[in-house]
């Protein structure tokens, strides 16, 4: 008896769940200043341009703002290359939504930007 009720409830909710997944998430990324961050900025911008995210050219109402409020720690290692450590802050409409710690190497930027996308989706999820 409970099974048909659960199934009908799922069928009723399914369209709203699908619609929620289809809604793009408007994001704005404040690029890091300095020429040494060109590849890092590009990797982040490319990742934030993939669906369901929509990268905006400026922040607006209800836009998730992604910023790096503190200095980026850059390490140049002879064998393994350049590494970046930084904190990313998320906010919307002037309200802080949290932070995430990012650590990535110049050769693994896509992996790091993928993690940032997961963090954005997590922060943007309705609560």
Is the pLDDT reported for residue 3 higher than 70?
A: no
Q: pLDDT tens digits for 8-35?
A: 444 455 454 444 556 899 999 999 999 8
What domains does the chain contain, in order, with CATH numbers? 25-124 (3.30.160.150)
Give the torsion sign (CA, 3, 8, 9, 13). positive
Q: What is the pTM of this model?
A: 0.76
CA separation for the pair 43, 48 (Å, rounded): 9
pLDDT computed for residue 55 by the predictor: 96
Residues linked to residue 29 through DSSP beta bridges, in sequence order? 66
pLDDT computed for residue 107 by the predictor: 84
| Residue 111 preceded by cis peptide, ω within 30 | no
Confidence band of 112 (pLDDT split at 50, 70, 90):
confident
Q: pLDDT tens digits for 56-104?
A: 999 999 999 999 999 999 998 888 889 999 999 999 999 999 999 998 8
Category of 124 on φ-ψ map: left (φ > 0), alpha (ψ -120 to 50) or beta: alpha
pLDDT computed for residue 22 by the predictor: 61
């Amino acid at each position: 008896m409970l099974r048909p009720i659960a199934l009908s409830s799922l069928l009723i909710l399914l369209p709203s769940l699908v619609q929620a997944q289809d809604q793009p998430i408007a994001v704005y990324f404040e690029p890091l200043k300095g020429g040494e961050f060109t590849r890092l900025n590009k990797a982040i911008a490319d990742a934030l341009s993939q669906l369901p995210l929509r990268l905006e050219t400026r922040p607006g109402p209800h836009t998730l703002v992604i910023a790096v409020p503190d200095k980026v720690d850059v390490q140049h290692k002879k064998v393994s290359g350049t590494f970046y450590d930084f904190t990313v802050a998320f906010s919307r409409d002037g309200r802080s939504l949290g932070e995430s710690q990012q650590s990535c190497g110049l050769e693994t930027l896509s992996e790091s930007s993928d993690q940032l996308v997961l963090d954005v989706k997590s922060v943007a999820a309705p609560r």
